[in-house]
Structure 1
Amino acid sequence: MEAPIFAVCSADPGVAALIGAGIDCRLYSFGEAPEKPVKPYVVWSVINGSPENYLAGRPDSDRFTLQLDVYAATADPVQAVTKALCDAIEPIAYVVRWGATDRDPKTKDCHRSFDVDWIVRR
């Protein structure tokens, strides 16, 4: 099971205007981003997850916590992409944590981190 983060975000017009759409969307699963991606871009990873277990019967949904990290050369695109992602995600999942807003020490890119809780029906 997997949270539909890519399907939801890559189909959203607001997200597409900033980081691309469909297979060209610069929303990468952890470890899948190219070495020097076009900016802005987003990396996501599952940081927690579990099935909704019951005493009787099989689980009917899975719960995921995803961490999203937005990168760009300057702060304005990071903020714009973060807002577009939240606008796409919040109708069906929950933003549950605002994380670091900083600069990557190696690339000097601006960075914003946030977490999303997603319940996926089986």
Structure 2
Amino acid sequence: MAKFVTIGYGDQDGYHRTDAAVRDGAHAHDVRLRAAGADMGIAGAPVQVRNHDDAGMTVQSGPFMSSALPVAGFAIIEAATMEEAVQLVSKTPCAVARGVVEVWPLQESP
């Protein structure tokens, strides 16, 4: 099985405008993904770390990337193919509650 990193984007307004039954179904889907081994979490406050040329570390509060919607959470999932990974995340809260989920294949580093 291949591993995929997922990044969920969404805001509270979109979440609350989604029918409660749809949200409940999405949360139940997340419970099933966790039971199958997915490692999931809600995004906290990030920091940026730099250590260019190993000459000294700097740390700065805040995200490096930007998006129209805030980052809501991350997951590491396993799937046989990208298509299967997409199907797995299509029922998650960010996907159904007016947000978006990115799916990135996780390749082993050399």
The structure whose Rg is larger is 2
Q: Normalised by the size of structure 1, how large is the TM-score?
A: 0.33
Structure number with higher strand proportion: 1
Structure number with higher helix proportion: 2
Q: Normalised by the size of structure 2, how large is the TM-score?
A: 0.35
